Amino acid sequence: MTEKLILRAENKKDKEYNPVFISSDTHQKLKQLSKSTGIPMRSLADKMFNFALENSTIINSDDGSNPE
């Protein structure tokens, strides 16, 4: 996969958010990226989730089924 998520540093208020649980490892990486870019962690997570959702492909499991 060659497409990258491009992040632009920003200084603006965030919209309303709901909690999502992530691993400690991922949290540390997100925290470091937030520190490097000045973008709040919740904004980064929102951008990353949206990018992943827009660029995801679902394939069948090994038994050929797809959960509904």
19-54 pLDDT per residue, tens: 899 999 999 999 999 999 999 999 999 999 999 999
Q: Assess if residue 16 is contained within a domain.
A: no
Q: Assess if residue 18 is contained within a domain.
A: no
Count of structural domains, the chain:
1
Give residue 1's pLDDT: 64
Mean pLDDT of 8-16: 69
Give residue 34's pLDDT: 95
Q: Assess if residue 59 is contained within a domain.
A: no
Rounded CA gap, 19 and 31, in Å? 16
What b/e sequence results for 16-41 when a residue is b if at least 16 CB atoms lie within 10 Å of its CB, and e otherwise?
eeeeeeeeeeeeeebeeebeeeebbe
The residue segments making up the domain with residue 37 are 24-53
Q: Assess if residue 11 is contained within a domain.
A: no
Q: Assess if residue 14 is contained within a domain.
A: no
Q: Assess if residue 58 is contained within a domain.
A: no
